[in-house]
């Protein structure tokens, strides 16, 4: 076995193996374009941190080699062009960075200084290259740009996406033909939001590319309401224990969606460990670095990666490139070890006959018979970026030479604006970035069961917000990745203390509030006249409440009102039937009939308080109440005054002038007229009106009559109370008058009941809620009316009907009839 060499993570592999920093591929010309790529890929025994040297020298990155050959192809096209840089030959020097920063530094110095084998010993006055294409990794490109920027040599990267490279202060002469991760990270956040994935895991490359890209993604995802359960980092030089730990975190996590901002090498390492730990059933969201990598599109990874989705650079076709690639052969440069290594790796042979167990390369092998990442031109994405970068340098040099200027070429690259043969436009913004456009790629299986990349959408950062991201309808089943189940309409999210905002509990909206969408952060209050339904997902009109005839209480009160009115009519009929008897005559029949009429109206006015309030009913109920009761009490007051005057006269009965009927009528009309006057003033200045009371009961509207003027109402009620108080005082004074049928006693008792009812009414009226306020008022009307009816007329009806022997003048006067 080959010896194992222990190294640290910081050791340059190219330097460790003694690889000289020489151009891997080169050609002289009037103008030289430099290139930096990494051709050799290294395997680590991660557990022991060893380099397997034998495998090391036989591992070529076919993709990177295709990038380099695409650069050469573009240069040869330009050399054969009669319109672009005519009569000027373009050469190239392509160095291998080994995918590490230190060799990238040496490659940069080799390109700039021309001293390939030395580092830091001498520096010539003029650079050997006019522009540099590369590198594929952001960390290497940062070093390359910083060094080249000192000498004002432009660097155009085809694959470095770190947003940090757009900083013109640190990288004044940097350009790229691939969009910045500033846009990709935000596009990924919008993609995750589109599918409703609010709980995701994140894995990144532990370098400038992964750290900067993931930081931007997390920032954008947070703004979109997405939470990241964990964010882990790995490197292609990571120990096995670290990779195992990261995969265990993924396996034990609850997120079903993994955002992988990884380079190809890190993704390859991660997938190997995920395969070993049998991780399946996760949705992978990938960055452009690996999402279209054919090296990963293997059947062994299909159980893990099928269904993966992510943004990729637009696919393009480059006419003539495939034929050019198929013509690559070691005979083109027999001394070039990279060409030999490429050939040996491709065909599994060796040009060294001494190796046992390995077939010898004949040179007659054909690349047409091989399908690998080098010969496959079906997914020309990054290769097209290389192609555009070369042409950008050529157009800038053409512009500078055409104008006869000897200025910095970076200024001319900044101003390029041209179209390729395919029609694609090439230009750079003020930060050196191209237009940020992506294709959305989904990993699906073809009929043979092999993974294929299907374009299912796009992203264009130049479009207005809301139109940048488009996705096709796909008949696919996507997983659900949330920390908490969605809150249905009628509920709101409540953040759980100590957990991210995506982890929440669902709390039902309070009464009168709704949420009509899923995962509402807050419940919205309903408008004033609306209330939430039972599910709290819709505002419905509030129930309008008033005392109606249809409900039990309203029907009972109406029945008692009609019963009272009917009973009063019966009493009136009885009095009319016995109108010529002494009892009826002694009771002042005219006032009695007028009192019975007013009581009938009092019973009937209670009906105006039942039913839906309107403008007319609100005015009628209070006016009718005030006037009818004023008429009723005025009749009783006049009757009481008549009794008192009759029994307190000093002269004999035949000499005392009888209280004239006209005076009685004037007393009744006068007492009633004052109440009418008060009601007219009330209705004129501030009449009662229908009012929707939404204050007392939030869930319903109480339709009631607003008094308009509380003063008017209490004046009406107070006037009735004043009349009743006068009645009570006078009747009380006349309660012991000598009479077998002293009516003052019954008036006194009726006034006591009347006063008790209305004194009790005031606090009950003020404190009763909603329609019960009206019910209390109706009850007071009916109770006081029944009290007056029974106290004043029940004893008389008893004598008229059941005790007719008492209905005589002598009995009423309290003495026997004597003979004269």
Residue 759 has pLDDT above 90, yes or no: no
- Which tens digits make up the pLDDT trace of 358-381? 888 988 999 999 988 899 898 899
Helices (H), 606-660: 615-648
For residues 161-170, average pLDDT: 93
In a domain, 361, yes or no: no
Burial of residue 763 (number of CB atoms within 10 Å: 0-12, 13-18, 19+): exposed
Longest dimension (CA), the chain: 176
- H or E segment at 457? strand 451-460
pLDDT of residue 127: 62
Burial of residue 676 (number of CB atoms within 10 Å: 0-12, 13-18, 19+): middle
Strand pairing class (155-157; 131-133)? parallel
> How sure is the predictor about 820, in pLDDT bands with cuts at 50, 70 and 90?
very low
Containing domain of residue 124, as a range?
Answer: 5-178+331-353+369-423
Residues 730 and 641: beta-carbon distance below 8 Å: yes
Q: Which stretches does DSSP call E strand in 461-551?
A: 469-471, 491-495, 504-508, 513-514, 524-525, 530-532, 539-541, 543-545
pLDDT of residue 561: 92
Tokens 């452009």 found at: 288
Least confident residue range of 113-117, 470-474, 731-735, 767-771: 113-117
pLDDT of residue 351: 86
Least confident residue range of 41-45, 76-80, 103-107: 41-45
In our burial notation (b when 16+ CB lie closer than 10 A, e otherwise), range 508-537 reads: ebeebbbbeeebbeebeebeeebbbeeebb
pLDDT of residue 644: 72
For residues 657-679, average pLDDT: 79
Residues 343 and 365: beta-carbon distance below 8 Å: yes
Q: Which stretches does DSSP call E strand in 177-222?
A: 199-205
Residues 42 and 124 in one domain: yes
Please give the Cα distance from 103 to 15 (Å, whole number): 8
For residues 698-713, average pLDDT: 86
- Which tens digits make up the pLDDT trace of 618-627? 888 888 988 9
Strand pairing class (530-532; 50-52)? unpaired
In a domain, 504, yes or no: yes
Structure-token pair, residue 607: 């009906």
The CATH number for 228's domain is 3.40.50.2300
Please give the Cα distance from 296 to 277 (Å, whole number): 18
In a domain, 324, yes or no: no
For residues 80-103, average pLDDT: 87
pLDDT of residue 14: 54
pLDDT over 70 for what percent of the chain? 87
For residues 271-297, average pLDDT: 91
Sorted by sequence, the CB contacts under 8 Å of residue 632 that are 6+ apart come out as 595, 598, 599, 601, 602, 785, 788
Query: Smallest Cα–Cα separation from 217: which of 207, 227, 753?
Result: 227
Residues 287 and 206 in one domain: yes
Residues 501 and 635 in one domain: no
In our burial notation (b when 16+ CB lie closer than 10 A, e otherwise), range 644-658 reads: bebeeeeeeeeeeee
Query: Smallest Cα–Cα separation from 191: which of 482, 441, 410?
Result: 441
Arithmetic mean of pLDDT over the chain: 84
For residues 40-66, average pLDDT: 56
Q: Name the more confident of 207 and 657.
A: 207
Q: Indicate the SS3 state at residue 456.
A: strand
For residues 214-221, average pLDDT: 95
DSSP character string of 233-247:
EE-TT--HHHHHHHH
The CATH number for 698's domain is 1.20.1070.10
pLDDT of residue 41: 56
Calculate ∠ Cα 44-47-53, nearest 5°: 30
Tokens 């083109």 found at: 332
Residues 503 and 570 in one domain: no
Residue 392 has pLDDT above 50, yes or no: yes
- Which tens digits make up the pLDDT trace of 125-136? 456 799 999 888
- Phi, psi values for residue 459, rounded to 5°: -145, 130
Residues 138 and 278 in one domain: no
Per the rule left: phi > 0, alpha: psi between -120 and 50, beta: everything else, 814 is left
Strand pairing class (437-445; 451-460)? antiparallel
Residues 127 and 105: beta-carbon distance below 8 Å: no
Residues 765 and 639 in one domain: yes
Per the rule left: phi > 0, alpha: psi between -120 and 50, beta: everything else, 614 is beta
Q: Quickly count: other Cβ atoms within 10 Å of residue 716's Cβ.
A: 22
CA quadruple 395, 397, 401, 404: dihedral positive or negative?
A: positive
Q: Which stretches does DSSP call E strand in 28-105?
A: 31-37, 44-45, 50-52, 90-96
- Which tens digits make up the pLDDT trace of 227-263? 999 999 998 777 888 999 999 999 999 999 999 999 8
Residue 172 has pLDDT above 60, yes or no: yes
Q: Quickly count: other Cβ atoms within 10 Å of residue 420's Cβ.
A: 15
pLDDT over 90 for what percent of the chain? 42
- Which tens digits make up the pLDDT trace of 497-507? 888 888 899 99
In a domain, 406, yes or no: yes
Please give the Cα distance from 213 to 160 (Å, whole number): 11
In a domain, 323, yes or no: no
pLDDT of residue 736: 64
What number of H helices and E strands is found in the chain?
23, 28
Strand pairing class (131-133; 174-176)? unpaired
- Cα–Cα distances (Å) from 427 to 130, 176, 327, 395, 658, in that order, read 19, 10, 31, 11, 122
Residues 635 and 668: beta-carbon distance below 8 Å: yes
Q: Indicate the SS3 state at residue 773.
A: helix
Residues 521 and 631 in one domain: no
- H or E segment at 692? strand 689-693
Sorted by sequence, the CB contacts under 8 Å of residue 586 that are 6+ apart come out as 741, 812
Residues 601 and 730 in one domain: yes
Residues 621 and 726 in one domain: yes
Query: Smallest Cα–Cα separation from 91: which of 128, 47, 138, 45?
Result: 128
Structure-token pair, residue 189: 């956040």
pLDDT of residue 809: 66
Residues 573 and 688 in one domain: yes
What's the number of domains the chain is made of?
Answer: 4
In a domain, 720, yes or no: yes
Residue 654 has pLDDT above 50, yes or no: no
Structure-token pair, residue 49: 């941190």
Query: Smallest Cα–Cα separation from 628: which of 648, 656, 598, 654?
Result: 598
Please give the Cα distance from 424 to 177 (Å, whole number): 12
Sorted by sequence, the CB contacts under 8 Å of residue 305 that are 6+ apart come out as 271, 284, 296, 297, 443, 451
- H or E segment at 274? helix 264-276
Residues 483 and 492: beta-carbon distance below 8 Å: no
Residues 246 and 274: beta-carbon distance below 8 Å: no
Structure-token pair, residue 456: 């299912």
pLDDT of residue 819: 36
Burial of residue 77 (number of CB atoms within 10 Å: 0-12, 13-18, 19+): buried
pLDDT of residue 60: 82
pLDDT of residue 202: 97
> How sure is the predictor about 540, in pLDDT bands with cuts at 50, 70 and 90?
very high
Beta bridge partners of 531: 540
Please give the Cα distance from 725 to 752 (Å, whole number): 9
Q: Quickly count: other Cβ atoms within 10 Å of residue 152's Cβ.
A: 14
Tokens 């809150």 found at: 487
Sorted by sequence, the CB contacts under 8 Å of residue 460 that are 6+ apart come out as 435, 436, 437, 438, 468
Residues 534 and 564 in one domain: no
pLDDT of residue 660: 62
Residues 137 and 21 in one domain: yes
pLDDT of residue 24: 83
For residues 15-41, average pLDDT: 75
Please give the Cα distance from 353 to 361 (Å, whole number): 9
Dihedral, CA of residue 5, residue 9, residue 15 and residue 17, to nearest 10: 20
Q: Indicate the SS3 state at residue 294.
A: coil
């Amino acid at each position: 076995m080959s010896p194992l060499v222990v190294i640290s993570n910081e050791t340059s592999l190219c330097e460790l193996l003694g690889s000289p920093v020489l151009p891997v591929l080169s050609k002289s010309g009037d103008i030289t374009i430099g290139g930096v790529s990494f051709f050799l890929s290294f395997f680590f025994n991660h557990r022991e941190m060893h380099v397997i040297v034998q495998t090391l020298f036989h591992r070529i990155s076919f993709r990177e080699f295709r990038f380099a050959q695409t650069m050469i192809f573009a240069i040869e096209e330009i050399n054969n062009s009669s319109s672009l840089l005519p009569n000027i030959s373009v050469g190239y020097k392509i160095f291998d960075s080994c995918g590490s920063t230190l060799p990238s530094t040496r490659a940069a110095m080799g390109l700039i200084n021309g001293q390939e084998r030395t580092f830091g010993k001498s520096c010539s006055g003029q650079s050997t290259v006019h522009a540099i294409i590369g590198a594929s990794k952001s960390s290497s490109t940062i070093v390359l740009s910083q060094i080249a920027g000192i000498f004002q040599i432009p660097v155009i990267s085809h694959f470095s996406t770190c947003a940090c490279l757009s900083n013109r202060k640190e990288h004044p002469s940097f350009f790229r033909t691939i969009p910045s991760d500033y846009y990709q990270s935000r596009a990924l956040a919008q993609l995750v939001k589109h599918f409703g994935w609010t709980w995701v895991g994140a894995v990144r490359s532990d370098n400038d590319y992964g750290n900067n890209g993931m930081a931007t993604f997390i920032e954008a995802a947070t703004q979109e309401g997405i939470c990241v359960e964990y964010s882990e980092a790995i490197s292609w030089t990571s120990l096995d224990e670290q990779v195992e730990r990261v995969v265990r975190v993924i396996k034990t996590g609850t997120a079903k969606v993994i955002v992988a901002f990884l380079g190809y090498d890190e993704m390859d390492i991660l997938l190997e460990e995920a395969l070993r730990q049998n991780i399946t059933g996760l949705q992978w969201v990938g960055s452009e670095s690996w999402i279209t990598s054919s090296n990963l599109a293997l059947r062994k990874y299909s159980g893990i990666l099928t269904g993966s989705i992510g943004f990729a650079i637009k696919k393009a076709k480059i006419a003539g490139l495939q034929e050019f690639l198929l013509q690559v052969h070691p005979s083109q440069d027999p001394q070039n070890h990279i060409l030999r290594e490429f050939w040996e790796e491709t065909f599994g042979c060796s040009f060294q006959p001494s190796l046992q167990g390995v077939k010898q390369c004949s040179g007659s092998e054909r690349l047409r018979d091989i399908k690998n990442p080098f010969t496959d031109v079906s997914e020309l994405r990054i290769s097209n970026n290389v192609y555009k970068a070369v042409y950008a340098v050529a157009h800038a040099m053409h512009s500078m030479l055409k104008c006869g200027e000897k200025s910095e070429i970076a200024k001319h690259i900044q101003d390029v604006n041209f179209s390729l043969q395919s029609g694609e436009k090439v230009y750079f913004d003020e930060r050196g970035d191209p237009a940020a456009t992506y294709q959305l790629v989904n990993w699906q299986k073809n009929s043979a069961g092999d993974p294929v990349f299907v374009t299912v959408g796009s992203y264009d950062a130049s479009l207005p917000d809301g139109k940048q991201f488009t996705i096709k309808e796909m008949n696919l089943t996507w997983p659900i990745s949330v920390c908490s189940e969605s809150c249905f309409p009628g509920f709101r999210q409540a953040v759980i203390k100590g957990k991210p905002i995506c982890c929440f509990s669902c709390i039902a909206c309070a009464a009168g509030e709704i949420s009509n969408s899923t995962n509402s952060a807050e419940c919205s209050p309903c408008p004033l006249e609306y209330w939430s339904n039972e599910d709290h997902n819709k505002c419905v009109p509030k129930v309008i409440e008033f005392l109606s005839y249809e409900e039990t209480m309203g029907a009972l009160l109406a029945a008692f009102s009609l019963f009272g009115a009917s009973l009063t009519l019966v009493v009136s009929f009885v009095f009319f039937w016995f109108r010529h008897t002494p009892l009826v005559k002694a009771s002042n029949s005219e006032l009695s009939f007028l009192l019975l009429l007013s009581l009938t109206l009092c019973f009937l006015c209670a009906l105006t308080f039942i039913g839906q309030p309107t403008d007319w009913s609100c005015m009628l109920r209070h006016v009718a109440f005030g006037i009818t009761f004023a008429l009723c009490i005025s009749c009783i007051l006049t009757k009481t005054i008549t009794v008192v005057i009759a029994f307190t006269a000093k002269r004999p009965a035949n000499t005392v002038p009888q209280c004239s009927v006209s005076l009685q009528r004037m007393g009744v009309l006068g007492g009633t007229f004052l109440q009418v006057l008060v009601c007219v003033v009330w209705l004129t200045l501030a009449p009662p009106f229908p009012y929707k009371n939404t204050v007392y009961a939030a869930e319903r509207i109480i339709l009631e009559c607003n008094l308009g003027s509380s003063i008017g109402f209490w004046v009406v009620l107070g006037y009735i109370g004043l009349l009743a108080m006068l009645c009570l005082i006078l009747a009380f004074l006349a309660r012991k008058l000598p009479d077998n049928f002293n009516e003052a006693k019954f008036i006194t008792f009726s006034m006591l009941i009347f006063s008790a009812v209305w004194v009790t009414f005031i606090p009950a009226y003020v404190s009763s809620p909603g329609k019960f306020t009206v019910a209390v008022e109706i009850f007071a009307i009916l109770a006081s009316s029944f009290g007056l009816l029974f106290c004043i007329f029940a004893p008389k009806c008893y004598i008229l009907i059941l005790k007719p022997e008492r209905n005589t003048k002598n009995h009423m006067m309290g003495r026997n009839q004597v003979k004269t």
